[in-house]
Amino acid sequence: METLKYILLGIVQGLTEFLPVSSSGHLTIFQQVAGMELSNPILLDTILHVGTLVSVVLVFWKDIRELFVEFFGLCRDCIKGKPNLKNPYRRMLVMLVLATLPLIIILPFKDYLEIMFENIILVGIALLVTGTVLFISDKIRIGKYTAANAPMVSSVFVGLAQMIAVLPGISRSGSTIVASEAVGYSRKFAIKFSFLMSVIAILGATVVQIPDAISEIGSASAEMLIGYALGMIAALISGIAAIKFMVNLINRGKFHIFGYYCWAAGLFSILWGIFF
């Protein structure tokens, strides 16, 4: 029974990490509704994040490979004193770094914010906010900026949206995609930029948790570790499915549909917190 719960947690993590409905908020809801008290929460969280990290890397592997190539090329050119930022992937690499800076600023306060939002009612309110943002997203005029011509400073604005999404109940993918569209990115580039940002965010969060996760391994049983591993696989598979589904839906201009879901989930969370 516990193993099944870990698998379900993995599915919830994989789906909600990339669908614009807030993974942290849904994990809070699921654990409270299912009555789960995790003895090794950091270890499980780290393992599930590895699953989602692998899923987005697999889907966007060609872009990530190009970014690695341009990283070394940029380092070489900087040593020569002639940094060339004309290559679209090289420009996008710099933009991704700029977009990540606000997240680094908020990281020291992340734990305090998450503790504050362990209250399922507050998570529900945040989901209502997310739903409203998503509902109006399709009304934003779609721009034409791509990695080749987008103002680099625009990525900082997208990064600020990601910083706000540290709060459970505020969707990271939803916030960054809507922010990208708001600053004039084309729909295709907004989607790609948001998911590539998630690689850095998930990787960073995972690396930070590794020491604490390792310390919890000793107290985890073999059965528990198997359950965690199955949860990771579930997160990987559901993550890939979520990314492809979301890309298809956004390209069809149906992003607002997730707004209805977030409103329903938010209302459910508030009512659950009040009556249960």
Q: 100-134, pLDDT tens digit by residue?
A: 999 888 877 767 766 766 788 988 999 999 999 99
Q: Please give the average per-residue pLDDT across 265-271, as a whole number.
A: 94
On average, the pLDDT of the chain sits at 88
pLDDT reported for residue 104: 83
Give the separation between CA 7 and CA 51, rounded to whole angstroms: 12
Q: Report the first-to-last Cα separation within the chain, whole angstroms.
A: 23
The token pair that represents 232 in the structure block: 């990771």
Task: Please report which confidence band the pLDDT of residue 153 belongs to, taking 50, 70 and 90 as the band edges.
Answer: very high
pLDDT at 273 over 70: yes
Q: Tell me the mean pLDDT in the region 144-151.
A: 94
Q: At what angle do helices 187-217 and 154-164 cross, to 10 degrees?
A: 40
CA 111 to chain centre: 17
pLDDT value of position 224: 87
| Integer Cα distance of 65 and 255 in angstroms | 28
Tokens 């990281």, located at residue: 107
Backbone angles phi, psi at 36, to 5 degrees: -90, 130
Whole-number pLDDT of residue 114: 64
Q: Is 36 left (phi over 0), alpha (psi -120 to 50) or beta?
A: beta
Q: In the chain, pLDDT over 90 holds for what percent of residues?
A: 49
The C-alpha atoms of residue 47 and residue 192 are separated, in whole angstroms, by 24
Task: Calculate mean pLDDT across residues 186-213.
Answer: 90
Averaged over 269-276, what is the pLDDT? 90
**Overall average pLDDT of the 164-191 stretch:** 91
Both tokens assigned to 28 = 């809070």
pLDDT, average across residues 91-97: 95
Q: Structural domain boundaries of the chain?
A: 2-275
